[in-house]
C-alpha cells in the first residue's frame, strides 16, 4: 500500500500550554484539571520507571526522565503496531527492518524494544518481559516490566526511524520533538488511511502511554526544581530545605511538589519579601538554563501530542 506521511508542526499550536506553570504559580489550574482527568480515566496502580534517552550518540536530546522512559517505549510500540496494521510488516516507517516472530513477520513487543534500543559500547543484555505474543499490553504493566528488566529508555533513532536517520552523523543527537513529531506523523497517516475505528485499541494504548509520560515529566521537573532551589538557597545562606507536599500521579506513583506557603509558615524568622525575591531570582535563572529548557520542551511537546491523540482525526 502506498503511503502518505503527515508532518506535524506544533510551533504555533495554541494547545501547547506551560505545563510547568506551578513553578511560577504554585496552583496551576490547567495542570490540576488535566491531572484530575487522567486520574479519573486511567489505571491507578503504581509503577516504577527509569529514564528515556541520554547522552549516547544517536539517542534523543534531554530525555533523562527516570519515570517517563518505559512509557515512551510502550508508546512507540503502539505507534509501530498501527504502522504494521495499516501498511504491513516490512513497509513501516517505524522500525522498518524489524523482523520478528509475529505471524505476519513483524516484531513482538520484546523484539521491537530490543530492535530500537541504543546499544552502549561493549553491548548490553537484551530486555525481557513476560508480555510474549500479547499485542495489546496494558501500558502501565508493560512499563513496569520494562523498568524491572532494566530498560532505561535509550533509543537509537537510526533503528527507530531509518528513513530519516539511517545515515545520520554518529555524534548527532536529535531533539525530542523532532523525533516524536515524526512518530505522531506516522500515527496520523494511519488514522488518515483507515480511520480511528480499526485502530481503536492501539490508539487507546498510545493515548494512555503518552498521558502517563506527560505526568511523569512534570513530576520529574518538579522534583528537579526542588533539588535546585535548595542548592540555590544554601548558597545564599539559608540552612534549611523548602517544604514540599506529596502528589499522586494517575499510575499511583508519587512525587514531591514545592509548597511555598508551608515554607514561609515553617520559617517565620525569615523575611517573606526577601525569600520570595530569592526564589523568583532562582526561577528566572533556572528557567533560562539549556538543560531546563530541553526538558521543559519535551514535557510541553508531550502535552501537545496528547491533545492531538485525544482529538478526532482531521486531515
- Residue 247 main-chain phi, psi, to 5 deg: -110, 150
Q: With bands split at pLDDT 50, 70 and 90, how would you rate the model's confidence at 166?
A: confident
pLDDT in tens, 237-284: 999 999 999 999 999 999 999 998 999 999 999 999 999 999 999 988
Is 52:68 a contact under the CB 8 Å cutoff? yes
155 part of a folded domain: yes
Q: Considering the domain boundaries, does residue 187 fall inside one?
A: yes
Decide if pLDDT at 287 tops 80. yes
In-domain check, residue 134: yes
Contact 73, 280 (CB under 8 A): no
Predicted confidence at residue 315, as pLDDT, reads 56
Instruction: Examine the pLDDT at 21 and tell me if it is beyond 70.
Output: no
**pLDDT of res. 217:** 87
**pLDDT-derived band at 37, boundaries 50, 70, 90:** very low
Rounded to whole angstroms, the Cα distance separating 204 from 309 reads 9
Would you say residue 105 lies in a domain?
yes
Distances (CA, A) of 226 to 236, 252, 257, 286, 303: 15, 21, 8, 11, 22
pLDDT at position 87 is: 96
Flag whether 54 is in a domain.
Answer: yes
Task: Report CA dihedral (128, 132, 138, 142) to the nearest 10 degrees.
Answer: 0
Count of positions (residues) in the chain = 315
DSSP 78: H
- Asked if residue 66 belongs to a domain, the reply is yes
| 178 falls within a domain | yes
The pTM assigned to this predicted structure is 0.77
d(CA 305, CA 207): 9
Using one digit for the tens of pLDDT, what is the confidence trace for 40-63?
332 222 221 112 333 334 444 444
- Judged against a pLDDT cut of 90, whether residue 71 lies above it is answered with yes
Greater pLDDT, 5 or 166: 166
Q: Report, in angstroms and rounded to the nearest whole number, the Rg of the chain calculated over CA atoms.
A: 20
The per-residue pLDDT for 167 is 86
Average pLDDT (162-178) is 84
Name the region of 106 (left: φ>0; alpha: ψ -120 to 50; beta: rest): beta
State the average pLDDT over residues 33-41.
31
Residue 179, helix vs strand vs coil? helix
- Give the residues across from 246 on adjacent strands: 256
Does 127 reside within a domain?
Answer: yes
How high is the pLDDT of residue 170? 65
Q: Sorting pLDDT into bands at 50, 70 and 90, what band is 65?
A: low
Domain tally, the chain: 1
> Measuring CA to CA, how many Å separate 127 from each of 67, 108, 117?
18, 13, 9
Which of the residue ranges 19-33, 194-208, 230-244 would you say has the lowest mean pLDDT?
A: 19-33
pLDDT at 200 over 70: yes
Domain that residue 194 falls in: 47-212
pLDDT of residue 174: 87
Residue 20 clears pLDDT 70, i.e. is over it: no
Residue with cell 538557597: 233
- What is the pLDDT of the chain when averaged over all its residues? 79
- Weakest-pLDDT range from 123-137, 168-182, 208-222: 168-182
CA distance 145 to 142: 5
First to last CA, the chain: 19
Amino acid at each position: 500500500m502506498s503511503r502518505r506521511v503527515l508532518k506535524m508542526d506544533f510551533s504555533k499550536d495554541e494547545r501547547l500550554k506551560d505545563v510547568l506553570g506551578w513553578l511560577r504559580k504554585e496552583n496551576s489550574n490547567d495542570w490540576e484539571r488535566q491531572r484530575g482527568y487522567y486520574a479519573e480515566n486511567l489505571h491507578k496502580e503504581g509503577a516504577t520507571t527509569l529514564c528515556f534517552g541520554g547522552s549516547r550518540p544517536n539517542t534523543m536530546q534531554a530525555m533523562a526522565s527516570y519515570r517517563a522512559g518505559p512509557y515512551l517505549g510502550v508508546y512507540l510500540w503502539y505507534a509501530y503496531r498501527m504502522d504494521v496494521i495499516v501498511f504491513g510488516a516490512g513497509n513501516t516507517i517505524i522500525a522498518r527492518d524489524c523482523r520478528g516472530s509475529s505471524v505476519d513477520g513483524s516484531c513482538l513487543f520484546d523484539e521491537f524494544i530490543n530492535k530500537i534500543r541504543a546499544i552502549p559500547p561493549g553491548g548490553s543484555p537484551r530486555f525481557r518481559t513476560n508480555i510474549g505474543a500479547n499485542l495489546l499490553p496494558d501500558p502501565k504493566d508493560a512499563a513496569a516490566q520494562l523498568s524491572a528488566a532494566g530498560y532505561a529508555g535509550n533509543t537509537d533513532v537510526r533503528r527507530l526511524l531509518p528513513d530519516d536517520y539511517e545515515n545520520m552523523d554518529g555524534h548527532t543527537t536529535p531533539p525530542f520533538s523532532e523525533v516524536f513529531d515524526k512518530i505522531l506523523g506516522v500515527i496520523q497517516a494511519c488514522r488518515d488511511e483507515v480511520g480511528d475505528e480499526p485502530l481503536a485499541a492501539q490508539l487507546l494504548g498510545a493515548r494512555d502511554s503518552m498521558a502517563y509520560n506527560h505526568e511523569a515529566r512534570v513530576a520529574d521537573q518538579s522534583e528537579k526544581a526542588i533539588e535546585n532551589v535548595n542548592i540555590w538557597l544554601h548558597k545564599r545562606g539559608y540552612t534549611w530545605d523548602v517544604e514540599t507536599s506529596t502528589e499522586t500521579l494517575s499510575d499511583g506513583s508519587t512525587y514531591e511538589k514545592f509548597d511555598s506557603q508551608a515554607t514561609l509558615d515553617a520559617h517565620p524568622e525569615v523575611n517573606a519579601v526577601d525569600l520570595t525575591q530569592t526564589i523568583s531570582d532562582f526561577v528566572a535563572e533556572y528557567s533560562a538554563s539549556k538543560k531546563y529548557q530541553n526538558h521543559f520542551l519535551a514535557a510541553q511537546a508531550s502535552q501537545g501530542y496528547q491533545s492531538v491523540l485525544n482529538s478526532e482525526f482531521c486531515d
